[in-house]
Copies of this chain bind each other. A is one copy, B any other.
Amino acid sequence: MANPEAHAHRSGPVRSDDARRAILEAVAGEFLAKGYEGLTIQGVAAAAHVGKQTIYRWWGGKAELVADCLVEGLLWDTELAVVDTGDVVHDVTTWIAHMLDLDRPGGRDVLRSLLGAAASDEPLAQHLDELLRGAHEGGVTHRLTVACERGELDEGVDTVLATDVLLGLVVVRTIVRRPTTHDELDSLVRQLLTAR
Contacts and interface: CB of A to CB of B under 8 A. Distances in A.
A27 to B, nearest CB: 17
A191 B157 CA distance: 11
Interface of A: 35-37, 112-113, 115-120, 122, 125-126, 128-129, 158, 161, 164-165, 167-173, 175-178, 184, 187-188, 190-192, 194, 196
A158 B191 CA distance: 12
Contacts of A118: 175-176
Nearest to A193: B191
B169 A164 contact: yes
Contacts of A172: 164, 167-168, 171
Contacts of A190: 196
Contacts of A116: 115-117, 119-120
Contacts of A167: 168, 172
Nearest to A163: B172
Contacts of A115: 115-116, 119, 175
A191 B126 CA distance: 28
Contacts of A169: 161, 164-165, 168
